[in-house]
Amino acid sequence: MTSPPEPDLTPQEMIDRAIALRPRLVEEQAQTEERTYYSQEMHEEFLRAGFYRIYVPRRYGGYEFDVATYMRVMLEMARGCPSTGWCLALASAHALQIGSWFEERAQEEIFGDGDFRAASVAAPIGPATRTDGGWELNGTVAYASGIPYSTHYMGQALMPVERELPEGTPDPMLLFVAPASEWTMLDDWGMHLGLKGSGSQSVRFEHGRIPTHWALEDTFMVDKNVDDGTPGLRLHGNPLYGGRALGAFTLSLLALAVGMGYNALDEFEAQIRTKMTPLPPFRKRMYDDDFQRYFGGAMGKLAFAEAALMNGAQQYMELGARYADKGIPFSYADDMRIGILAREAYMLVWDVVQGDLFRTAGSSAAKRGERLERVFRDMAMVSSHRNTMLRDWAFRELARAHLGIPRDYELGNLQRPRT
């Protein structure tokens, strides 16, 4: 067992470190976009602060803090720089799934002494081929946010079809973890509208090799069944490691979105405290009824979204504890419900940024490089994220699960049918 670097560090102390970095994050936004990820100096700051270790199990040198702590830290990071927050969050988040789903031997090898970071994409990289003692991986996948400083990659690959499958059933998938020695990061990020500094480059595997126990066969991360508990819950005794993935992932997007919303609100406040109204009687905008309404409305709606974030984090922990205490599974419907809560809240944040703040700030705020212009572009990317495209599908899945209707495999196309 390995102790974390600061065994007595508290969640609040870690959150305070994120808040203290906010001015520096704001100052470095332009350079982060130009580089397409945050600086080596900022990375070292994150190492010292322990941000990467939030979800890493304590026995492997992590802090094993709860979901609410992770969400609060990432919110504060995005309040300083959305791209930096996105890159950090998605390099740090997947310790939760590895700590939950993989057996002790794999966890001990993958986490090591706790110096662990792993980008992840749910889309398969390509084919996986069985080898003596493991798997060979080949292929490329895009949008691996957080990959520039990742020590590992958690991903999916298509398994060989070794038996006849029911008609319409996709090939089974392999969920795997691979160290940085087995993949290459491509230089292909930065051309999108926003999140230019989020480190979302592609990853390429060419004859990558991993041992058998670093992979879970016939497993899709978006729908990992945990009805019988998890290896992580049994190993660590912490309900944190008893859950599914989609709800937690969507909550992480909400944390970043709320941080972006407050980022825009901070800039809007600075403007109304200094800029004059566009019509007489000319006075600072903070004294104008309309601008007060714009600002107050945005404050209230962001507080609503933040409350949804904290509620979702609490639900995730309670569902894990419910299984540990009473044996009631953390179900597919539970995961869908948390994901829907988070998704609806971050769509509200997009409405706040583009409808309440950017629309009323004036065209000077839309100049290239202005803080509000950057947040607008970044939130536009969040609003078009693949997770947002799942909105109607998730509504249907939740309804079917609640009503006891068999899941429509062809529509969802996310898992093998259970027979």
214-260 pLDDT, tens digit per residue, is 999 999 999 999 999 999 999 999 999 999 999 999 999 999 999 99
* pTM of the entire predicted model: 0.95
Write the DSSP string, 93-152: TTHHHHHHHS-HHHHHHHHTTS---EEEEEEEEEEEEEETTEEEEEEEES--TTGGG-SE
Q: Which residue has the tokens 């794999």?
A: 106
- The pLDDT-based confidence of 167 (bands split at 50, 70, 90) is low
CA distances from 156 to 131, 141, 175, 198 (A): 17, 10, 5, 21
Pairing label, strands 152-158, 118-131: parallel
Domains and CATH numbers, the chain: 11-99 (1.10.540.10), 120-224 (2.40.110.10), 241-412 (1.20.140.10)
Nearest CA to 246 among 225, 217, 216, 218? 225
pLDDT (0 to 100) of residue 171: 76
Q: What is the pLDDT of residues 269-325, one digit of tens each?
A: 999 999 999 999 999 999 999 999 999 999 999 999 999 999 999 999 999 999 999
pLDDT (0 to 100) of residue 415: 43
Sheet holding 152-158, edge to edge: 184-185, 203-211, 134-141, 118-131, 152-158, 173-179, 215-216
Count of other CB atoms within 10 angstroms of residue 279: 8
